[in-house]
Structure 1
Amino acid sequence: MEKITRISNELRDWIIQTLKSGVNPESIVAAMVKKGFDQAFAYSIILRIVTNQSIQTVNSNQSPYMYESTAIAKKGNIIKTSDREIKVLLKMDKPYITYLDNVLSTDECDQLIQLSKDRLQPSEIIDPVTGDKKSVPGRTSKGAYYRLNETNLITTIERRIMEITDHPIENGEGLQVLNYDIGEEYKAHFDYFPTNQIDMTKGGQRVATFLIYLNDVEAGGETIFSKVGLSIVPKKGTAVYFHYGNNHGQVDRLSLHSSIPVQEGEKWVSTKWIRQEMIYQ
């Protein structure tokens, strides 16, 4: 079989971010070879990335990302759900980002934190080449994962996210709760999958993220969208929704983001990743 000697923009970007997160270059090369890449080509790609040289990709001439109207963007500055009113604090069109107030009550935030404390485990990433979950230095938080509708509280939050975004609950992965202590962070990354890791039997590509802040952070811990110069300070009960996948199969590379290190106190967040199609649990 002929070895692969081309990469996509998405795979290149994921390799860059994976290297920044602390993964060993040799491990990335070995994984690429396992997936059918030519070994010499894989080493040359890593070398060019490390030395900041340009890389020709299969979609270097790909059309710019096509922005589409999202359901949430049509709802105005007050979004009414079945049990509360959500206030829109910030909007950005490219990439599509909206910052929302009053998403969770103080009591709901506290309950979710308490529910998660005893089930925290070191956070992992999905390797962009192998698809395996692994711990890396660039993601130093701890996390807890929940099944859809696992508890009454989880069901309430899932339903509210659905009513805010109009994405069906079944199109989303189960809620994840993350805890960051002082100095902990998640370096710049994309939430969508590289092309070779899209599994249509599991809902396909991620197209959006709903990130809820469960506490106020004394210093640090902002969510940074570095390509557009946006910094969002955590505020208890608020949420950030960002959309990065369209109906043409494109992904928005302006959605690159990070969680910078906590300087004082700690940080609690809950994440809902939304897929393009239903996930069969």
Structure 2
Amino acid sequence: MEKITRISNELKDWIQQTLRSGVNPESIVAAMVKKGFDQSFAYSTMLRILNKQSLETVDASQSPYMYEPIDLAKRGNIIATTDREIKVLLKMDKPFITYLDNVLSTEECDQLIHLSRNRLQPSEIIDPITGEKKSVPGRTSKGAYYHLNETSLISTIERRLAEITSHPIEHGEGLQVLNYDVGEEYKAHFDYFPANQVDTEKGGQRVATFLLYLNDVAAGGETIFPKIGLSIVPKKGTAVYFHYGNSYGQVDRMSLHSSIPVLTGEKWVATKWIRQTTISQKKKTEEVLSK
């Protein structure tokens, strides 16, 4: 079989992300070779990336990301849900990012932290080349995962997020709660998957993220969007929503983001990833049984 000697912009981005997360270059090259890349090409590609040299990609002429109208952008400065009024604090169009206040009550934040504290496990990433879950130095938080509607509290939150975004609950992955202690972080990364890791039975590509802040952080812990110079300071009950997938199957590389180290105290957040379509019932059952 002919060895692969070309690389896409998307894979280049994910290799850079994986390097930032702490994976050593040799492991990435080995994974590339295992996936069918020519060994010499894999090594030369890695060297060019490490040395920040230009790298020719197969989709170098790919059209720029096409921004489409987002329903949430049309909702005004006060968003009314069944049980709450959400206030828009900040809004950007390209990439689409909005910072929202009063998404969760103080009691809901406290309940979610209490519910999650005893089921935290070391956070992992999905390897962009192998598709396997793994722990890496660049993601040092701990996480707790929930399936859809696992508790009445989670059902209430999921219903509210669906009303805010106009994305059905079934298009979302189960809620994930993350805890960061002093010094813990998540280096710059994308939430969407590389093309070879998109699973239609799991709802297809991720297109948006809803990140909810469950506590105030005394120092550090900001969510940073480095390509646009935006920094979001955690505030209990607020949330940031960002959209990075369109109907053409493109993903927005301007959505690169990180969680910088906590300097004082700890940080609690809840993440809701939204997919293109509904996750299949078979996959839902598999995910529930695996937790």
- TM-score normalised by structure 2 residue count: 0.95
Are positions 1:149 and 2:149 aligned together? Answer: yes
SS state at 1:209 partner: strand
SS state at 2:98 partner: strand
SS state at 1:240 partner: strand
CA-CA distance at 1:121 after TM superposition:
0.4
Are positions 1:195 and 2:195 aligned together? Answer: yes
Tell me whether 80-89 or 193-202 shows the greater mean CA deviation: 193-202
Q: Give the equivalent residue in structure 2 for 1:279.
A: 279
What is the CA–CA distance in structure 1 between the aligned matches of 2:66 and 2:112, rounded to whole Å? 37
Q: Give the equivalent residue in structure 2 for 1:268.
A: 268
SS state at 2:16 partner: helix
CA-CA distance at 1:245 after TM superposition:
0.4
SS state at 1:55 partner: coil
Are positions 1:18 and 2:18 aligned together? Answer: yes
Q: Give the equivalent residue in structure 1 for 2:51.
A: 51
SS state at 1:278 partner: coil
User: Where do 1:71-86 residues align within 5 Å?
Assistant: 71-86=71-86
CA distances 1:194-222 after superposition (whole Å, capped 9, x unpaired): 11111112111100000000000000000
What is the CA–CA distance in structure 2 between the aligned matches of 1:258 and 1:143, rounded to whole Å? 16
Query: 2:229 is matched by which residue type in structure 1?
Result: G
CA-CA distance at 1:29 after TM superposition:
1.2
Are positions 1:106 and 2:95 aligned together? Answer: no
Query: 2:193 is matched by which residue type in structure 1?
Result: F
Query: 2:120 is matched by which residue type in structure 1?
Result: L
Unaligned runs of 5+ in 1: none
User: Where do 1:24-173 residues align within 5 Å?
Assistant: 24-173=24-173
Q: Give the equivalent residue in structure 2 for 1:212.
A: 212
CA-CA distance at 1:27 after TM superposition:
1.2
Query: 2:107 is matched by which residue type in structure 1?
Result: D
Unaligned runs of 5+ in 2: 285-291
What is the CA–CA distance in structure 1 between the aligned matches of 2:37 and 2:162, rounded to whole Å? 40
What is the CA–CA distance in structure 2 between the aligned matches of 1:194 and 1:57, rounded to whole Å? 15
Query: 2:116 is matched by which residue type in structure 1?
Result: S
What is the CA–CA distance in structure 1 between the aligned matches of 2:255 and 2:96, rounded to whole Å? 8
What is the CA–CA distance in structure 2 between the aligned matches of 1:190 and 1:254, rounded to whole Å? 9
CA-CA distance at 1:5 after TM superposition:
1.2
Query: 1:8 is matched by which residue type in structure 2?
Result: S
What is the CA–CA distance in structure 2 between the aligned matches of 1:58 and 1:213, rounded to whole Å? 39
CA distances 1:63-122 after superposition (whole Å, capped 9, x unpaired): 111100111111111111100000000000010000000000000000000000000000
What is the CA–CA distance in structure 2 between the aligned matches of 1:106 and 1:197, rounded to whole Å? 37
Query: 1:74 is matched by which residue type in structure 2?
Result: K
Query: 2:149 is matched by which residue type in structure 1?
Result: N
Q: Give the equivalent residue in structure 1 for 2:288.
A: none
What is the CA–CA distance in structure 2 between the aligned matches of 1:54 and 1:167, rounded to whole Å? 39
- After superposition, the CA RMSD in angstroms is 0.7
SS state at 1:241 partner: strand
Q: How many corresponding residue pairs?
A: 281
CA-CA distance at 1:23 after TM superposition:
0.4
CA-CA distance at 1:181 after TM superposition:
0.3
- TM-score normalised by structure 1 residue count: 0.99
SS state at 1:183 partner: coil
Query: Aligned residues: percent identity?
Result: 81
CA-CA distance at 1:8 after TM superposition:
1.2
